[in-house]
Amino acid sequence: MGKLFILTHHPEDATPAEGVTFLTCDVAEAVRIGLEAADGKDLEVFSPTIGRQLIERGLVDEITLHIAPVLLGDGLRLYDNPGGAPIHLHRLDTDDPHSEVDVRYRPVRETVSP
C-alpha cells in the first residue's frame, strides 16, 4: 500500500495512525508533497472539495470515475460548484471528446419466499 496523506484544517482532531501523515498546508503544497512521495506513480485524491480546488488550479491531469450499481441517497455532489464555471471532461479512450458512457441498471426486487 502507498503512503496516505490527509489534508486537514483541524490537526488537533486527527488520530495518529501508522503510515498516515496529516498535512495542514495549501492544496498545491499537498500535491507537491504527494507527488514527491509517489515517486513517479499516480497521486489519487479522494475528496470532492479538495479535488475541485485542484481542478480550479489546473493541478488535475485525469479523472477516473468508478461507476457502481448503488444509489447513495443524500450525498455530496461530485465537484459541486454553485455559480462557478462548469468542468468539461475529455474521454481518454476515444477520439470523440463528446462521447458518453451510458450505463443502465434495473433495481433488483427481492422475492419473498412462502
Q: Please report, in tens digits, the pLDDT of each residue of the chain (114 residues total).
A: 678 999 999 989 989 899 999 999 999 999 999 999 999 898 999 888 898 899 889 898 888 776 665 666 666 666 666 777 777 777 777 777 666 676 676 767 677 666
Where b means 16+ CB within 10 Å and e means fewer, 15-54 reads eeeeeeebeeeebeebbebbeeeeeeeebebeeeeebbbb
pLDDT at 72: 65
Ranges assigned E (strand) in the chain: 4-7, 20-23
Any domain includes 107? no
State how many domains the chain has.
Answer: 1
**Is 33 inside a domain boundary?**
yes
- Identify whether 3 is part of a domain: yes
Q: Does 37 reside within a domain?
A: yes
Residue 113 lies in a domain: no
Residue 49 C-alpha cell reads as 472539495
Give the structural domain span for 29.
1-102
Confirm whether 46 is domain-assigned: yes
Residue 110 lies in a domain: no
